[in-house]
Chain A
Amino acid sequence: KAGVTQTPRYLIKTRGQQVTLSCSPISGHRSVSWYQQTPGQGLQFLFEYFSETQRNKGNFPGRFSGRQFSNSRSEMNVSTLELGDSALYLCASSRSPGQLTLNTEAFFGQGTRLTVV
């Protein structure tokens, strides 16, 4: 059974550019959540999608957006990149939305490391 796949693994962009990251959940999982991980702030929740609908959203500016397709694959987009957006972006998939618990079998991908220069 394939795990959560995030592409690309590494990315370097310059300030002002925009970037799109991709997450393919485990087959059969319909919920995808995105997190930003930085040394200073730790893991912060960005948003969650279930059945192509944004179910929950964290406290990030509107430059951060996402979407989910009918095959449950999800993308997140960051526009007008800033140096502070440099981080590891993680996605997690589960069968059902809400709490990440053993009951919902949530799994994280390896992440996309974004560096903004």
Chain B
Amino acid sequence: DTAVSQTPKYLVTQMGNDKSIKCEQNLGHDTMYWYKQDSKKFLKIMFSYNNKELIINETVPNRFSPKSPDKAHLNLHINSLELGDSAVYFCASSQFSGGARETQYFGPGTRLLVL
């Protein structure tokens, strides 16, 4: 039943490690997103993919690399983790229709802590 799911829910790791977060949506949407929520709860778009193609890449360090194997999945790989990467990462999806992208639906978030 879960519309947008993310794994893992919690991720604790050491500085310098490489980690991945996975996202899957079963809503049949064609656009997926990654957002970062910092410790003050501020949310900011990182990436957006439409039909497996990157359409937004905000000023995110190139240590972050999104990969979309198909329309239902958008994974986030992070190299050489830094303390400042500690945050909650949210995946979202929406459908492009009639010239506009509809409401975005969010996953439960992945809480990343870098030690």
> Is the pairing of A and B real?
no
Q: Which residues of A contact B (CB under 8 A)?
A: none
State the B residues within 8 Å of A (CB).
none
